[in-house]
Amino acid sequence: MLDIPSSVRVDVEALLAAQNHMGVCDAIEQYAPVGKPDTMTTPHFPKVAGIDSTVPPPAQTVAPTSPAPAPPSSPGAPPAPAAPGAPGALIQDRLAGWVSDLTTLHELTERLARTAVMDDALHEVLRAGAALVGARRGLVVLEPADGLGPDTTVGLGLARADLGHIETVPRGATSYGRILDRTDGTGEPEVHADLLSEDGLDPRHREVAARLGYAASFALPLATEAAGRLGAAVWLYDEPAEPVERQRHLVGLYTRYATEHLARLLELERARAKSRTIAEELLPPRLPRVAGVQLAARHRTGPRGGGDWYDALPLPEGALGLTVGSVTGSGASAVAAMGRLRASLRAYAVMEGEDPVAVLSDLELLLRLTEPARSATALFAYCEPALRKIVLAGAGHSPPLVIGERRTEFVETSLSAPLGMLACWEAPSVEFSPEPGETVLLYTDGLLHRTGDPMDRAFARLHAAAAGVPRTIRNDPGAIADHVLHTVLPDGLDAADSDEDVVLLAARFE
């Protein structure tokens, strides 16, 4: 809430006359007399967007003068408006300034609250701060004090090369460097109203400032009591200047809220990174080399971490086992379940890989016993590269896609339920033989779901993408997988945050 200076002595009659023209007073409490009748208490604004602060009074724009005598009026006529120099006009001017400040802070904090990604939030902090302090350019250096990262630098009105020039300045000679090197990362802002005329300015700093065309800077720490130091924000002026007291107060209120928002996004970013790391570690670090076949895989993990997997396992007598699958759910529990199922499937493949139906039957039994509340889709293929022969079985999974010079078609597989859905799973296997130079593409349903289209249209889009693979890259399974991924998921959807994981496993037979 606003702390308006204590009681104000005014002329009651002039104030009452002025109130008829003070629209901003409609939303606040009426003045109540305290002590003497001509002593008025100040109003209090309701909280706006969680802002509870003390805003210093605006600069007085009109010198206080004694109210001019009101002209005589006829009985029943409305009271005459207060003179420009009346105390009521001064109060109205101040209240209007406070309402304007609160409205501005409310709009800026709402815009920041709508950001859900750290990079977007940092850019919004820079734009809002520049508007509040009257600067045109700036940068934010994110460097959490706990050393766990992520560390990054984001600029406003500064290209990557400009940020590189600023980073060549010795850390201790920069505003953000001095803030970040403090023990707790807090304290007073760093103000340099005229950099180029400062005594003792680092020569490299002077050179960079002249080259980039900024002459003053204003820096604030980004820190909270709970999270500690997160980083520092610096705004740059083209001419010697510095924010006035009112601007400093407003940007201080804004950065206080912004730092809390950044701290929440930081925790979310770290949780997502941990989930992605765990999921990646549970997948094969590299694909095996098997004579007669080239392998490539692409994996995109959703922000909460999903249960999609892929694997390629060398088997006795030069055979190769290929598998893709997906566990229902997301988050740490789904990732852990995926790791257990993938490890178990590897063991079953070694024991009885020649019979894909037996492999998936054993996996289904394990799932029912250990994960009774969870289901999964899976596909396992037993490959003999020397004979170009593949025997596969699927449990509720999408069929593989064969990509070649003369054909692009889905493999006809038997319709079956996912693992864990029936009391006893079993479905017949299918056998097919890819031609020399053809690529068999295995994928998870996340590739289709991320399109946002109905499944029939998603399958059609996948088929069209595979049919459109350029001839120049048909001998590279990695390039084929990239082409399909970027074609099926245009506009960056292949890398965007999504609840669906995406897995592609491509095997090209020679």
The distance between the two most distant Cα atoms of the chain, rounded to a whole number of Å, is 113
Query: What is the number of domains present in the chain?
Result: 3
Burial bucket for residue 365 (CB in 10 Å: 0-12, 13-18, 19+):
middle
Q: pTM for this one? A: 0.63
Phi then psi for residue 282, to 5 deg, are -80, -10
The residue range of the domain holding 48 is 8-59+84-111
Q: What pLDDT is stored for residue 186 in this prediction?
A: 57
Residues 119 and 29 in one domain: no
Same-domain check for residues 350 and 398? yes
SS3 258: helix
Residue ending a domain, among 95, 111, 127, is 111
Is the residue at 107 inside a domain?
Answer: yes
Task: Give yes or no for a cis peptide into 150 (omega within 30° of 0).
Answer: yes
343 and 248 in a common domain: no
Q: Is 431 exposed, middle or buried (0-12, 13-18, 19+ CB in 10 A)?
A: exposed
Instruction: Tell me the pLDDT tens digit for each residue of 155-213.
Output: 999 999 999 999 999 999 999 999 998 765 556 899 999 998 888 899 999 999 999 99
Distance CA 290, CA 119 (A): 42
Q: Is the pLDDT of residue 478 over 50?
A: yes
Examine the domain organization and report whether 370 and 412 are in the same domain: yes
Q: Is the domain of 269 the same as that of 311?
A: no
The answer to which of 91-105, 228-242, 337-351, 359-373 has the lowest mean pLDDT is 91-105
Q: Among 255, 276, 297, which residue terminates a domain? A: 276
Say how far apart CA 351 and CA 334 lie, in whole Å: 26
Same domain, 90 and 193: no
Local structure of 355: helix, strand or coil: coil
d(CA 341, CA 380): 13
Average pLDDT over residues 367-385: 91
**386 and 269 share one domain:** no
Q: Give tens-digit pLDDT for 430-463.
A: 999 999 999 999 999 989 988 889 999 999 999 9
Q: Are residues 470 and 329 in the same domain?
A: yes
Position 50 pLDDT exceeds 60: no
Share of the chain above pLDDT 70, in %: 79
Query: Given the structure tokens 């997906």, which residue do they identify?
Result: 326
pLDDT tens digits for range 386-416? 999 999 999 999 999 999 999 999 998 877 8
Domain end residue (candidates: 231, 257, 276): 276
User: Is residue 38 very low, low, confident or very high in pLDDT (cuts 50, 70, 90)?
Assistant: very low
Task: Kindly state whether residues 479 and 340 are assigned to the same domain.
Answer: yes
Which pLDDT band, with edges at 50, 70 and 90, does 152 fall under?
A: very high
Strands 408-410 and 190-192: unpaired
Task: Give the CATH number of the domain where residue 306 resides.
Answer: 3.60.40.10
Q: For residue 497, what pLDDT band results from cuts at 50, 70 and 90? A: low
- Rounded alpha-carbon distances, angstroms, from residue 265 to 115, 117, 159, 303, 355: 9, 7, 25, 13, 48
What pLDDT does residue 85 have? 55
Q: What is the CATH number of the domain that holds 165?
A: 3.30.450.40
Q: Which residue has the higher pLDDT, 87 or 39?
A: 87
How far is it, in rounded angstroms, from Cα 77 to Cα 43? 29
